[in-house]
A and B are shown apart, each in its own frame.
Chain A
Amino acid sequence: MTLEATAAPVEPETASREEDLYTAKPWTLIWWRFRKHKLAVASLIFMIVLGIMAIFADFISPYTPFSFSKLNTFAPPSVVRVIHDGSLHRPFIYAVKRKRDPETARVLYEEDKTKVLPIEFFVKGQDYKFLGLVPTQMHLFGVSDRKQQINLLGTDSLGRDLFTRLLYGARVTLSAGLIGVAFSFVLGLALGSIAGYYGGWWDSGIQRLMEFIRSVPTIPLWMGLAAALPVAWDPLFVYVLITIILSLIGWTHLARVVRGRFLSLRTEDYVLASRLCGASEYRIVTKHMLPAMTSYIIAAMTLAVPEMILGETALSFLGLGLRPPVVSWGVLLQDAQNLRSISLAPWLLSPGIAVVLVVLAFNFLGDGLRDAADPYGH
């Protein structure tokens, strides 16, 4: 038999769109698949917007996080309106008047429907250093009235703008989550790959260690570890230590994912094929195993962030984690600890809503990534 007779018929020229699919890089395929997961894409956009807001918190927020005003305590959220006197108006708020209830002596705020305060953009406000570097007074928005404030989420017991503090808190809480995941990534990747790659004794030992860590009740463990941190330490240093504490518990999940991937990849035919070509262990791990794992690791890391954020929030809420003057969502929630302030100023719970939204967004994002992680499933 001749080669010409037996070779499979060469296929006709394919359309260029199909060619795009056939030559698409693995990450392109993952992105195409991820794109179909609408909730995950929405979550990704939400997280990007929130991230940008946190990074530029000092510019976006109308005030600074520590500027208090004793005449504006527990002020309710300002209502942004567009209709004044029955006609359309550029976005504005009404000025408020501080009054006291004659019977209970409670502070009340009443809108003065005659005094319109239009919201202005790029206004001059309090001094700050843009990104901690450039001194400026420019804020994204505000009202140009010395005695009135725009408080989108109200104020706290010292008259500090909650919206401003929420943005600053996002910096601390989100970065604590990301740094904590980065630490647990290092631990999880190292221990997970040792367990999955070497197997045997190492595997059993590391597995038992993970089971032990997972069986310890988290709150008492955090309390114990946090109690070991002296109160007098620099808040920044405490912040780093808290993230390390969180990651000491959080790495187990990631280690499991890495171990499982190593175990399944080790028996893949293409890994054996590569070995039979004389590939070194280093080449097999870096060229075949790690690329097949990265998308799974990223998905697992995304799903680990909420755990970290909830941990930080819980610790700080209980007074075991970060403490004022550091602003984090957990610290902000401390203000909502007593029933009186919640009933007087329910807007103090808004950091809790922020936590819920962020945790949900990370979970949706992680789900989407996990589904897209293996675009070659047969």
Chain B
Amino acid sequence: MSDMTPVPDDVLLSVNGLKKYFPINHGWLQRQVGEVKAVDDVTFDIKKGETFGLVGESGSGKSTVARLILRAYTLTDGSIRFRRADDSITELGGLDEKQLRPIRSEMQMIFQDPYSSLDPRMRLLDLIGEPLVIQGKLTKDEIRDRVQELLGLVGLRPEYVMRYPHAFSGGQRQRIGIARALALNPSFIAADEAVSALDVSVAAQNINLLQDLQEKFGLTYMFITHDLGMVEHISDRIGVMYVGRMVELGDTAEIFRKPLHPYTEALLSAVPQPDPRRRKEGKRIILKGEIADPANPPSGCAFNPRCPYATDLCRTTIPALREISGRQVRCHHAEELDLTGVGE
């Protein structure tokens, strides 16, 4: 890891060669019989103040990336460098729970399921106040004031502090989760499918709330989602993941205009297009089969069994991540293919 380039000034988070292999244990003695390569050699940077979208099917490893960055898991390999509030760079990879504690206040997560991510046995005061209690810098009254302020920020009444989560709807609960994530003034927030459990209008409200909060506090977001329509709306840049690997990475507009990876093309073709002028006839690509099993990936490019453009080269050799016209793409034939994006 010594040969890594320094983190550029405008980058908040730099992920390099990130790997997470989960062991598969079996039998009486829990012998390891294999491993799931949930995240395999993922590299990307997130710039200060931007929204980075991470997209891919279920099982592509995008949630695992978020959990690795927030150090809910230990890394198998790789490095995660994070710019602290005092502008120093900290390597998160090898830190233990005690060393992580002060950093945890600077990076937070918003969860997918607003029902299971709030302890039903705690009042909002204790739920939203928990991070403040743990960091232990405020008195009881100050915590109460801060919780009420946070509730106001996310559009809930400050009087709700004595209520329990069961009093709230899914959208409101998600706001409580947002308030909790904001409690310690983090600079980075990972939102793991943060609105996919909500219905469209409520999801839109919460997305707008998140964008307002970003403006107000200069937050940097990583949005994990399979909803490409939403990603186009909110992300500055996106990364596309397939079976633990980053297959394409670049500016949102660029990727939507002209994808370089066949998998991105297939994903984009599935986005419902409300504007009839942007619709293209008969261009919906339906992928064959299921996403590959990360415990037993196909040889060569993991996408080759489903790829309409696959050649023998794709079946034998794993493509490297290459830089093509300011974008990164993991495909042997990126230059030759003329893929279709979403029209202007």
List residues of chain A with CB within 8 A of the CB of B102.
Answer: 278
Number of interface residues of A (CB under 8 A): 37
For window 271-305 of A, CB contacts with B under 8 Å fall at 272-280, 283, 288, 291-292
Q: Are B209 and A6 in contact (CB under 8 A)?
A: yes
Assembled-state Cα–Cα distance A5/B184 (Å): 25
Q: Are A277 and B157 in contact (CB under 8 A)?
A: no
Binds B, one of A20-28, A314-322, A329-337, A364-372: A20-28
Q: A8-B171, A10-B157 are in contact. Are A273 and B117 (CB under 8 A)?
A: yes
Q: Are A24 and B164 in contact (CB under 8 A)?
A: yes
Q: Does A217 lie at the interface of the complex (its beta carbon under 8 Å from any beta carbon of B)?
A: no
List residues of chain A with CB within 8 A of the CB of B100.
Answer: 278
Q: Does A122 lie at the interface of the complex (its beta carbon under 8 Å from any beta carbon of B)?
A: no
Q: Are A278 and B134 in contact (CB under 8 A)?
A: yes
Q: Are A276 and B166 in contact (CB under 8 A)?
A: no
Chain A CB count within 10 A is highest, among B29, B72, B102, B164, for B164
Q: Does B252 lie at the interface of the complex (its beta carbon under 8 Å from any beta carbon of A)?
A: no
Q: Does B175 lie at the interface of the complex (its beta carbon under 8 Å from any beta carbon of A)?
A: yes
Q: A1-B211, A1-B212, A275-B72 are in contact. Are A22 and B134 (CB under 8 A)?
A: no
For window 95-119 of B, CB contacts with A under 8 Å fall at 97, 100-102, 104-105, 108-109, 111-113, 115-119
Q: Does A212 lie at the interface of the complex (its beta carbon under 8 Å from any beta carbon of B)?
A: no
Q: Are A279 and B134 in contact (CB under 8 A)?
A: yes
Q: A8-B171, A8-B175, A276-B70 are in contact. Are A270 and B119 (CB under 8 A)?
A: yes
Q: A1-B212, A21-B167, A22-B167 are in contact. Are A276 and B104 (CB under 8 A)?
A: yes
B117: contacting residue among A8, A19, A269, CB under 8 A: A269
For window 355-378 of A, CB contacts with B under 8 Å fall at 376, 378
Chain A CB count within 10 A is highest, among B72, B155, B216, for B155
Assembled-state Cα–Cα distance A156/B216 (Å): 86
Q: A2-B212, A7-B209 are in contact. Are A277 and B104 (CB under 8 A)?
A: yes
Q: Are A23 and B123 in contact (CB under 8 A)?
A: yes
Q: Are A23 and B163 in contact (CB under 8 A)?
A: yes
Assembled-state Cα–Cα distance A283/B122 (Å): 14
Q: A-B contact count, CB below 8 Å? A: 102
B172: contacting residue among A8, A19, A274, A276, CB under 8 A: A8
A6: contacting residue among B70, B115, B212, CB under 8 A: B212
Q: Are A3 and B104 in contact (CB under 8 A)?
A: no
Q: Are A3 and B216 in contact (CB under 8 A)?
A: yes
List residues of chain A with CB within 8 A of the CB of B209.
Answer: 3, 6-7
List residues of chain B with CB within 8 A of the CB of A127.
Answer: none
Q: A7-B155, A276-B104, A283-B134 are in contact. Are A269 and B163 (CB under 8 A)?
A: no
Nearest-neighbor residue (CB-CB) of B216 within chain A: A3
Q: Are A269 and B164 in contact (CB under 8 A)?
A: no
B131: contacting residue among A2, A269, A277, CB under 8 A: A277
For window 155-194 of B, CB contacts with A under 8 Å fall at 155-157, 162-164, 166-167, 171-172, 175, 177, 180, 184
Number of interface residues of B (CB under 8 A): 51
A273: contacting residue among B29, B111, B156, CB under 8 A: B111
Q: Does B273 lie at the interface of the complex (its beta carbon under 8 Å from any beta carbon of A)?
A: no
Q: Does A111 lie at the interface of the complex (its beta carbon under 8 Å from any beta carbon of B)?
A: no
Assembled-state Cα–Cα distance A21/B164 (Å): 9
Q: Are B164 and A22 in contact (CB under 8 A)?
A: yes
Nearest-neighbor residue (CB-CB) of B67 within chain A: A272
Q: Does B288 lie at the interface of the complex (its beta carbon under 8 Å from any beta carbon of A)?
A: no
Assembled-state Cα–Cα distance A2/B72 (Å): 34
Nearest-neighbor residue (CB-CB) of A295 within chain B: B121
List residues of chain B with CB within 8 A of the CB of A270.
Answer: 116-119
List residues of chain B with CB within 8 A of the CB of A279.
Answer: 130, 134
Q: Are A201 and B163 in contact (CB under 8 A)?
A: no
For window 1-40 of A, CB contacts with B under 8 Å fall at 1-3, 5-8, 10-11, 19, 21-24, 26, 29
Q: A8-B172, A268-B116, A270-B119 are in contact. Are A23 and B162 (CB under 8 A)?
A: yes
Q: Are B167 and A274 in contact (CB under 8 A)?
A: no
List residues of chain B with CB within 8 A of the CB of A8.
Answer: 155-156, 171-172, 175, 202, 205
Q: Does B309 lie at the interface of the complex (its beta carbon under 8 Å from any beta carbon of A)?
A: no
List residues of chain B with CB within 8 A of the CB of A2.
Answer: 212
Chain B CB count within 10 A is highest, among A273, A275, A291, for A273
Q: Are B131 and A201 in contact (CB under 8 A)?
A: no
Q: Does A325 lie at the interface of the complex (its beta carbon under 8 Å from any beta carbon of B)?
A: no
A278: contacting residue among B72, B101, B112, B211, CB under 8 A: B101
Assembled-state Cα–Cα distance A183/B180 (Å): 41
A23: contacting residue among B30, B153, B164, CB under 8 A: B164
List residues of chain A with CB within 8 A of the CB of B177.
Answer: 273
Chain A CB count within 10 A is highest, among B101, B116, B171, for B116
Q: Does A102 lie at the interface of the complex (its beta carbon under 8 Å from any beta carbon of B)?
A: no
Assembled-state Cα–Cα distance A291/B156 (Å): 27
Q: Does B94 lie at the interface of the complex (its beta carbon under 8 Å from any beta carbon of A)?
A: no
List residues of chain A with CB within 8 A of the CB of B175.
Answer: 8
For window 237-269 of A, CB contacts with B under 8 Å fall at 268-269
Q: A1-B211, A279-B134, A376-B166 are in contact. Are A6 and B117 (CB under 8 A)?
A: no
Assembled-state Cα–Cα distance A200/B177 (Å): 32
Instruction: Give, as a whole number of angstroms, the nearest-CB distance from A81 to chain B.
Output: 55
Q: Does A136 lie at the interface of the complex (its beta carbon under 8 Å from any beta carbon of B)?
A: no
Instruction: Give, as a whole number of angstroms, the nearest-CB distance from B150 to chain A.
Output: 13
Q: Are A276 and B109 in contact (CB under 8 A)?
A: yes
Assembled-state Cα–Cα distance A138/B219 (Å): 78
Q: Are B116 and A269 in contact (CB under 8 A)?
A: yes
Q: Does B34 lie at the interface of the complex (its beta carbon under 8 Å from any beta carbon of A)?
A: no
Residues of A near any B CB (own CB < 8 A): 1-3, 5-8, 10-11, 19, 21-24, 26, 29, 200-201, 204, 268-270, 272-280, 283, 288, 291-292, 376, 378
- What are 8 A-B residue pairs whose CB atoms fall within 8 Å in the complex? A1-B212, A2-B212, A5-B208, A268-B116, A269-B113, A269-B116, A270-B117, A276-B109
Given contacts A23-B164, A277-B105, A278-B134, could you give 17 more A-B pairs where the C-beta distance is less than 8 Å? A1-B208, A8-B155, A8-B202, A24-B164, A204-B28, A270-B116, A270-B117, A272-B111, A273-B177, A274-B119, A275-B72, A276-B72, A277-B131, A278-B100, A278-B102, A283-B134, A292-B121
